[in-house]
Amino acid sequence: MEAQAGKRAFDLYCARCHGGSGGGSPAGPPLVHRTYRAAHHADVAFELAVRRGVRAHHWRFGDMRPEPAVTRVEVAQITRYVRELQRANGIE
């Protein structure tokens, strides 16, 4: 259930840059990628990225701006959804 809510929130806030199902787009990197596995980017990294933005460091898409409209609950749901997508694609 939470992953379904995460998909809805992801589609609303994240997909325009990170692509449908987290596969990336010309505007932003894929989240379904080993770079974003939990061992390298813990779940809190998603929260911090949404709250503070992120300076470009793994990719050349430019900086990610903060997304203040996304609630903490939605970030948790999005994170769970992304982790499920990663696991489904063999990224642990």
| pTM exceeds cut of 0.85 | yes
Q: What is the pLDDT along the chain (92 residues), one digit of tens a residue?
A: 667 899 999 999 999 999 999 999 999 999 999 999 999 999 999 999 999 999 999 899 999 999 999 999 999 999 999 999 999 999 98
- Provide the token pair at 8: 């809805």
Q: How far apart are CA 17 and CA 46, in angstroms?
A: 15
pLDDT of residue 1: 60
pLDDT of residue 29: 96
Q: Which domains does the chain have, with CATH numbers?
A: 2-88 (1.10.760.10)
- Using CB atoms within 10 Å of the CB of residue 68, give its burial: 0 to 12 exposed, 13 to 18 middle, 19+ buried: exposed
